[in-house]
Amino acid sequence: MQDIPDHDGGGDPYARPIKTAACCKHYTAYDMDDRHNHTRFMFDARVSERDMAETFLRPFEMCVREGDASSVMCSYNRVNGVPACADARLLSGTVRGDWQLHGYIVSDCDAVHVMTDNATWLNFTGADSSAAAIRAGLDLDCAESWIEEGGRPLRDFLSEYGIATVTQGKMRESDIDSALRNQYMTLMRPGYFDNILQYAALNETDICTGEHKSLALDGARQGMVLLKNHGDLLPLDPKKILAVAVHGPHARAPEKVMDGDYTGPPCRANTTIYFGGINLHIERKGNDREDIFLPKNQTEEILHFAAASRNPIILVILSGGGIDISFAQNHPKIGAILWAGYPGGEGGNAIADVIFGRYNPGGRLPLTWFKNKYIQQVPMTSMEFRPVPELGYPGRTYKFYDGPEVLYPFGYGLSYTKFLYETGTNGSAVTIPVPGGHCKGLSYKPSVATTLACQAVNVEGHACAETVSFNVSVTNAGGRGGAHVVLVYTAPPPEVAQAPIKQVAAFRRVFVPAKGTGTVHFTLNVCKAFGIVERTAYTVVPSGVSKVLVESRTATRRRRCRSR
């Protein structure tokens, strides 16, 4: 989306023009806002090197290396004792050094001020914090605390104290030069100074064009996830449904979204749709949810409407995160549940298209929806992803937990039709050359004895050219055409200790007409798809038999891959 067609900058990434400069945030281990006396300003995230490499750094690495983002925003919190915006290893060493960021590093708003006044890190003064941040690799402070003169904002915190750092000898002037250079190079790429000819005439009238609204509608429809459809209640037939009763907080204007909308039982309509969920007053920076239930008034309303309605009702949930709606999933008078996320300006049309069958839903959940009991088993202050048996922590995400407290698993999503999978092969062997220094040890389960000369291949510095290819045939066995997302996971050899249950390796969306078959081709890079992070924090490809899992909601196809 950011690229300009036919302009590659001659191979120089800094000279390659872009339409927009993307920023990835908040870097990193930023999992706490405000909960039980822990705030984002003072929280110290204690993270193992393994979890850092495997989970907390990985999305930002993809953002910079594969997405060529122009900016990374560091977070308020500390990571293992050091503020993220003053950690030279995280900023200069990793983002700019290892990942080769072609842009600038910016703080979350006032993070340098927070370092001084909130976190009181090392009792630093404003000048000390400013020097530490810029020397660590920070280029810009997103500032809210302005120094005013005559009632007019004049200078921000970092600019004010940045000057003092040089005069006090705490920082070189060349450090400021480098920060400015990174910012101005980024400004040049989207044409801030000399414009980009083909976009020079764009203005407000280009925002809500029919083409753009159509794009917003398509994006919203693709993101819809059908969670329940008992007895094929959906889609509704508009020729048979003459009246629909619409209730719930999200049926009102946004400012009234949490007020509730109970107006008594539906009397004239045979079909009831309840628009519930949460909103950005609850899901926002500076706030953590106390539980993952719906607001109590909504649960009571939904149950009341379900009992009063002649027919099973339809529940539409709007939220960003997961919600424990076990009561609705198991309720016979709640026939269908649709998760719409926060679908944007065309969201209403998108929801209607799905409910009335103009669009066949094919979305998959991008995160696991847990039951509320689960959040009581893992404190938010714990940054561990793997189970911690001695503390009773069960593990986090689909990679390390698939127990009874999962309501809807990662990747879950129904359709108005049924898809079947077939793969053309049962397995293959891959031989990875191991030049000197590329063999690493592997942690095995206690019951496993191994004499392998090379237990695992170290990915770092390896050419990693080996691939595994296969086709998946997707057959639409139903009477409606629809798009389907084929999710491909890999699972490491079962003898490896503390390894992920599975991990996403690839996905493709394919449209298959009714009674038709489509073929989806996958080529997996062995290092990326089969690599796991060992307890030493090395990313390695384990020797042995790994599996490729091609999963739908109802079926799993397995393919063996032996690494030697």
How many Cβ atoms sit within 10 Å of the Cβ of residue 174? 9
Q: Which residues of 77-111 are buried (b: 16+ CB within 10 A; e: fewer)?
A: bbbeebbbbbbbebbbebbbeebebbbbbbbbbbb
Strands in 117-223 per DSSP E:
140-141, 146-149, 152-156
Contact 564, 432 (CB under 8 A): yes
**Which one from 33, 87, 108, 128 is the annotated catalytic residue?**
108
Q: Phi and psi of 489, rounded to 5°?
A: -115, 160
Distance (Å, rounded) from C-alpha 342 to C-alpha 280? 10
- C-alpha dihedral sign at 474, 475, 477, 483: positive
108 is catalytic: yes
> Within 13 Å and on the Cβ side, how many CA atoms surround 307?
7
CA–CA dist 128, 161 (Å, integer): 9
What does residue 527 show for φ and ψ, rounded to 5 degrees?
-65, -45
Give CA 49 to chain center in angstroms: 21
Spatial distance between the Cα atoms of 326 and 331, rounded to a whole number of angstroms: 8
* Sign, CA torsion 351/355/356/362: positive
CA atoms within 13 A on the CB side of 1: 5
Q: Please answer whether residues 28 and 75 qualify as being in contact, where contact means their C-beta atoms are separated by less than 8 angstroms.
A: yes
Collect all residues with Cβ–Cβ distance below 8 Å to 13 and sequence separation of at least 6: 68, 102
Query: What is the Cα–Cα distance from 453 to 105, expressed in whole angstroms?
Result: 43
Q: Is 231 left (phi over 0), alpha (psi -120 to 50) or beta?
A: left
Residue in 37, 123, 140 with CA at minimum distance from that of residue 85: 140
Cβ count within 10 A of residue 404: 8
Identity of the residue numbered 454: C
Please give the distance of CA 203 from its chain centroid, rounded to a whole number.
Answer: 31
Which DSSP state fits 453?
A: S
Distance, in Å, from the CA atom of 549 to the CA atom of 551, rounded to the nearest integer, reads 6
Please list the residues that pair with 429 across neighbouring strands.
562
CA-nearest of 205, 203, 238, 481 to 361 is: 481
Question: What's CA 337's distance to the chain center, in Å?
Answer: 22
Q: Which residues contact 226 (CB under 8 A, 6 or more apart)?
A: 234, 336, 337, 338, 339, 354, 361, 363, 413, 414, 415, 416
Catalytic residues: 108
